[in-house]
Amino acid sequence: MLTEREKMEALFNLSMEMNQVKDIDILMEHILTWARSFASADAGSIYLREGNKLKFSYTQNNTLQKRLQPGEKLIYSTFEIPMSMGMQ
């Protein structure tokens, strides 16, 4: 678990990175990694809104990743879910 100081330093570093990284995929992976670290979460996902749907776009899962051979990456199917009227 991160200390408050470590969280603030990580947030500062992430904000600096957001201004420098040009590759959106790398940036989203870093944001997800940071958010999981901040929340002490084993796994996480980022959904992107596309019209009236949420697209399952970025995922990480430490437990499942540990089961793979070194250098392998988890493969996830991308899918979309409709947004309810309350979320629009």
- pLDDT (tens digit per residue) in 28-48: 888 899 899 888 899 999 999
**Angstrom distances, CA of residue 82 to CA of 45, 47, 66:** 17, 12, 32
**pTM, full prediction:** 0.70
**Residue 45: count of CB within 10 angstroms of its CB:** 13
Residue 87 pLDDT: 53
48-61: per-residue pLDDT in tens? Answer: 998 999 998 899 99
